Every structure is written in structure tokens, then in C-alpha cells.
Structure 1
Amino acid sequence: MYPITPSTKMSRVAKRGHYDEATIYQILDEGLFCHIAYVHENQPMMIPTGYCRMGNKLYIHGSVGSHFMRNLVDGRRVCLTVSLIDGLVLARSAFSHSVNYRSVVMFSSGTLVTDEKERWDALEAFTNHVIPGRWEEVREPNAKEMKATMVISFEIEEASAKVRSGGPNDDEEDYQVPVWAGVLPLKLQAQTPITDPKMLFDKPVPDYVVNYKK
């Protein structure tokens, strides 16, 4: 369990809050993008970026020349969020409509990863987080590419998950309204793979692409 702090304590519909590692890790492992919010020169910023989790850390990577990446390793506190939308909740009244979702909010400070093994492991984990099995087939990064890449870790110190599931919650009198109500489930779904027209070899689409699920 993560500690409930003033930053992570639920103030609205507290029963939807979760502070256990199992719930938080499951959401983080299913997501593909996070949003990182911070303040730079009194200007609020929020940047979407890919990530992966290894143990109790999230990792991101980017160019060593990135202004965004350099800002994240100066010790400042940031807020990272991941959101998964599971369905649209259609009620009988406009006011009672909702969304089924799973989300994580965490607070941490970025640390520049300098250990070469940890950097390598993070890039491998990132690739296989996006699409499992890919790292084992592609050309691995060379020395020039590794030098141009910055890897940052975020210890999961303060974190909470919030989950909404189930059907609509209408006011009792609204059950008499003659309109369809229920849940429209939503999910991320892979489409038919498109082969690069510049392919030089007649290679079949890998099974991990054809059968991709997230």
C-alpha cells in the first residue's frame, strides 16, 4: 500500500480510490502514454509521452537535446497521470451521464539514469511494453544512438488509482424517463497491419503484431 498523503487522498467519491500496488501497477502496465505536468518559469506545462514500468519505477526516454527532458532532471516535483477509458455511461438524465475509467496519479522527481545496464534494460522494457516481443527481433541501439538518448526514472513514491465501473446512477424519478440507458464499452483495438512499402524482404507479419492486444 502506498501512503495516503494530502496530494493523493481522494476528496471526491473517495470509495473509488485505491492505494494498493496491484491496482496501480495493473493500470500502469496496461497504459501506453502518460502525461507529465510541471511548472517552468511560472508557466504550467503538460507533456504526453510514452513510458514503461520496471519494479517501483517508471521510465521515459527522449533526446539529450530535449528541453522537456532536461527540465525533468533538475530535482523539481512533477505529477504523472495515466488514464484508461473503459466505457461511456449513458443515463436517463443528461446530468447523470458518466464514464467508466481507471486512472493513476503519482507525484515524483525525475532522476537521470546513468548506469548503462539500467539504461539498456529500460529501453528494452519500453520497447516490449509498447509491443511485446519486438526488442528480440529488431536491431538494437548502437553506441551513437545510446549517446543521443536520455533515460529518466521516476520512483513511485506517492500514488493513487481511481476506478469507476458499472452502470448509470439515475435519480429515482428519472427511471420513468422512456430513454435507453446503459454502458457503451470502449477498448483499444488493433487494426489490420500495414506493411512498409519500402520493405526489401518478403517477411510475414509477426504473430505478436497480428495478435496484438493491450
Structure 2
Amino acid sequence: MLSTTSRTTLLRGKNRARTDRDDLYAVLDAGLICHLGVVVDGFPMVVPTGYGRIGDTLYLHGSTGSRSLRTGGSGGEVCVTVTHLDGVVLARSAFHHSVNYRSAMVYGRPRLVEDPEEHLAGLRAITEQLAPGQWDAVRPPTRKELAATAVLALSLEEASVKVRQGPPVDDGEDYALPIWAGVLPLRTSWGVPEPDPVMTVDLTVPEHISSRTIAIR
């Protein structure tokens, strides 16, 4: 079960809450980009970045010079969010318009990963989140590249999941209005891979990449 702290307990839209930890994994595993919220020098900062998950740990990375990464790695509180927009919900009244979505929020104090093996495993997880199979197909990072890349590990202990699905919910008297209502589903799909124009040899698209072009997220 997911945590029930004051920060993860929904006060509004309680019927949209998901309490199973598998629902958290599903939202995170389906995403590509998260938003890292930190307070830097007294001001809020929200940074989009790649991420990866290993068990109940979320890994994020960035330059060692990044202010958000330095702040997060120094023991400060952060909030990480992942959201999937599944459709626009059109109601009979402007008030009841909404969106169908799946979202996750993770709170905690991340730690800066210093163990070399975990550092590498975190980077692999982040790479594989964006492009499964890519880590084993490319040159591994050099010692200089590893030294220039910070990795944060954030426990998934304190997290919440919220989901909205289905048609609009209008006021009872509005259902008789002659106004179209329903859902505009949103689907995101991969396009045809575009090769780097400076490749020195003519290479076919690897199977682990081409197989994703027919997948719909």
C-alpha cells in the first residue's frame, strides 16, 4: 500500500486516489520525463528531467554543477511528479470541464549517490527508461563523464497516485441541455526514427529502437 502521510492523503477528489503501490509503479514506468521541485536560495524551482526506477528507488541525474541537483543532494526536501494526459473531458458546462489523467507525486529527501556501482546502475536505469535496450548498444560513460554527472536516489516510500478516467460529470439539470459532451482521447505514438545526418556509415535502425515505432503510449 502507498503511504498515508499528511502530504499524500488527498483532501479533494478522494475518489481519484489510488492506494496500491503497483499503481505508482505503473505511472512511473510509463513515463519519460518527470518534474523535480526544489527550493533553491529561498525560491521554488521546477526542473524537467529524465528518471529511472529500480525497485522502490527513483533515480534522477544532471550536471554536478546543477543548482537543483546540488540542492536536492544536500538533504533538502523535494517533490517529484510524473503526469500522463489521456484526454480532454468536455462537459455541458464550463465548470465541469476536466481532463483524464494519471499522476504520481513523490516526496522526500534524496541522497547523492556516491557508490560507483549504484551510480552506474542509476544511469543505466535512466537510459533504459527513455530507450529500453540502448545502454548495451552504446559506448559506456568514461570516468570523466561519470565524474561530471550527479545522480540522486529518492525513496518511493512517501508517494501518492491520482487518476481520473471516464466521461464528464455534469449537474443533473444540465444533462437535458442540447450540448455535445464527451471525451477527446489523447494518444502519443512514436514516429519514424530519423538518423543523425553525420553518421559515417549507413546503418539500419536497431531492433530495440524500430520496435518502439509501432507502440502507442
8 Å contact kept, 1:78–1:107: yes
Q: Distance in 2 between matches of 1:201 and 1:41?
A: 48
Deviations 1:135-190 (A, max 9, x none): 12111111111111111100112111000000111122222222221111112211
8 Å contact kept, 2:90–2:98: yes
What amino acid does structure 2 have at the position aligned with 1:158?
E
Q: What is the Cα deviation at residue 44 of structure 1? A: 1.6
Q: What is the Cα deviation at residue 105 of structure 1? A: 1.0
Aligned residue for 1:199, secondary structure, equals coil
Q: Distance in 2 between matches of 1:163 and 1:38?
A: 24
Q: Distance in 1 between matches of 2:159 and 2:91?
A: 31
Aligned residue for 1:51, secondary structure, equals strand
Match of 1:97 in 2: 97
Identity of aligned residues (%): 46
Q: What is the Cα deviation at residue 42 of structure 1? A: 2.1
Match of 1:36 in 2: 36
Q: Which runs of 5+ in 1 are unaligned?
A: none
Deviations 1:27-61 (A, max 9, x none): 01111111111222221211111111111110011
Aligned residue for 2:135, secondary structure, equals coil
8 Å contact kept, 1:79–1:106: yes
Range with greater deviation from structure 2 (78-87 or 179-188): 179-188
Aligned residue for 1:160, secondary structure, equals strand
Q: What is the Cα deviation at residue 63 of structure 1? A: 1.2
Match of 2:46 in 1: 46
Q: What is the Cα deviation at residue 2 of structure 1? A: 2.4
What amino acid does structure 1 have at the position aligned with 2:51?
Y
Q: Distance in 2 between matches of 1:67 and 1:42?
A: 12
Q: Distance in 2 between matches of 1:188 and 1:196?
A: 23
Q: Distance in 2 between matches of 1:39 and 1:151?
A: 18
Q: What is the Cα deviation at residue 22 of structure 1? A: 0.3
Q: Which runs of 5+ in 2 are unaligned?
A: none
Q: What is the Cα deviation at residue 209 of structure 1? A: 2.2
Q: Does 1:23 align with 2:23?
A: yes
Q: Distance in 1 between matches of 2:18 and 2:171?
A: 27
Q: What is the Cα deviation at residue 196 of structure 1? A: 1.0
Match of 1:202 in 2: 202
Q: Distance in 2 between matches of 1:210 and 1:170?
A: 44
Q: Distance in 2 between matches of 1:61 and 1:12?
A: 33
Match of 1:125 in 2: 125
Match of 1:135 in 2: 135
Runs (4+) off by over 3 Å? none
What amino acid does structure 1 have at the position aligned with 2:116?
E
Aligned residue for 1:125, secondary structure, equals helix
8 Å contact kept, 2:40–2:67: no
8 Å contact kept, 1:19–1:159: no
Q: Distance in 2 between matches of 1:126 and 1:43?
A: 27
Aligned residue for 1:38, secondary structure, equals strand
TM normalised by structure 2 equals: 0.94
Range with greater deviation from structure 2 (203-212 or 141-150): 203-212
Q: How many residues align?
A: 214
Match of 1:87 in 2: 87
Q: Distance in 2 between matches of 1:141 and 1:96?
A: 50
8 Å contact kept, 2:56–2:155: yes
What is the alpha-carbon root mean square deviation over aligned residues? 1.3
